[in-house]
Amino acid sequence: MSKQTVHVGLDIGSTKVSVIVMAHDSATGSVEVIGAGVAECDGLKRGVVSNINKTAEAIRAAVDRAEQTSGYKLGPVVVGVSGEHVSTFTTRGIVTTRTSEISDGDVRRLHDELAQVHVTPDRRILHVIPQDYLIDGQDGITDPLGMSGRRLEANALVITASASAIDNVYKCAERAGLHVDAVVLQSIASSYAVLDDAEREVGVAVIDIGGGTTDMAIYKDNVLRYVSVIGIAGQRVTDDIVAVLGIRNTDAESIKVTYGHAISESILRDEHFQVPGIGGRTPTEISKSILCQVIEPRMEEIFDFVLSRIHESGMSHQLAAGVVLTGGCTELYGSEQLAQRTFRLPVNKGLPRGFSNDGFAREVTTPSRATAIGLALYSIKHHQEFVSDTNDDPQPAQSSSAAPQSEPSEVHVHKKGVVQRLKDWFENF
């Protein structure tokens, strides 16, 4: 018997809040976008909440629109987090196997051991990701299950974030009437939406350039190997336009989206457009090429920062699949050309995938929605790990025939304290 579950991704960005509602059919494996909502937000600075009330209001506005389009009253969500406060370190865990053959229970015990890594009170663990395994000292093992051995070890990448930043994300979501099932690093979420297994296998870097931060994740051999967050992104481009043209931020953002080019070579027809005046001043006209002279240096700076982080990772020669660009700022014309010139690697535009083309698929298949879509896909994959003692699943908002006929979502929320909830978030692979 088919059973549909509803999953919600909440992307709290520095310039906008995006909500995606997905329906997953466990019998057929089909995934469909059934609702979406977007609202402007100025309650974050470089990915970190700076005004809880403004952020909560933006979340509520985006959720209201998502509820209207999906026909569901939303509750549990998976939320993305970013910011320069995100950091990583490596750890190692060791267990002795109970028999001469490594079982699923042995692997789970090892993952539990890895999850017990100590962090200071001002940090929270987001993800613990095994990198490789060792059996009786033999390294380079990617899947130990079923192999013979008595001593099982693993190296793991631990991703942590500021405790106060995480707590503020919780507060914003809860003030908007939501429950948080999990907090996920945004670059990991974006990867769920825009990468396939082949890219992860041969080596790929996904670069998500949003409004406040540029998030990077590098995969190799189907394992996340490196993450980094850079505090320069699309809002800096908008700020440059504001400073040069002397216009409001909203007008600058509109001009950037409509006429902006990341590289002059992408301008096929150098048209002129009108720049609105402020304070009763007369509007002026400038060309796309002049605007590009403002945008291109900042985009070059962003890509240069990314390139330095790629070199820092030590994996610049292992990216056979090159670079995948996503995030709202990569919708600038010519962003792929500029990236290819900077990285000297194959560059592709990362469009969200992994769901059917029905419903809202066409509307949300844009780089700016990649993180929210990835968060919903993350919820689908990991929802059985979310512990619950409540019944706050999404419910149909009305009984009219227009409302989706799906059963309530199986995604649950754990209402223990924040520290205990965070302990329940560890990823097990």
Q: Angle at CA 97, nearest 5°, toward 94 and 98?
A: 145
Q: For the whole model, what pTM was predicted?
A: 0.87
- pLDDT tens, 267-295? 999 999 999 988 778 899 999 999 999 99
Sign of the alpha-carbon dihedral angle for 41, 44, 47, 52: negative
> Which of 98, 196, 189, 197 shows the shortest CA–CA distance to 149?
98
Question: Whole-number mean pLDDT of the chain?
Answer: 88
In the chain, count of helices (H) and strands (E)? 12, 20
Distance separating alpha carbons of residues 98 and 87, to the nearest angstrom? 35
**pLDDT band at residue 246 under the 50/70/90 scheme:** very high
Q: Tell me the chain's radius of gyration from C-alpha atoms.
A: 22
Q: For 181-195, what is the mean pLDDT?
A: 96
For residue 424, the 8-state DSSP code is T
Q: From the CB of residue 68, how many other CB atoms can be counted at a distance below 10 Å? A: 12
pLDDT at 412 (0 to 100): 29
Q: For 214-223, what is the mean pLDDT?
A: 96
Q: For 241-245, what is the mean pLDDT?
A: 95
Whether residue 392 is predicted with pLDDT greater than 60 in this model: the reply is: no
Alpha carbon separation from 163 to 86, 122, 301 (Å, rounded): 10, 5, 30
DSSP-based three-state secondary structure for 122: coil
Distance separating alpha carbons of residues 202 and 219, to the nearest angstrom? 8
Residue ranges and CATH numbers for the domains of the chain are 1-84+162-194+353-429 (3.30.420.40), 87-161 (3.30.1490.110), 197-352 (3.30.420.40)
- pLDDT tens, 100-116? 899 999 999 999 999 88
> Which of 85, 154, 92, 93 shows the shortest CA–CA distance to 126?
85
**pLDDT band at residue 421 under the 50/70/90 scheme:** very low
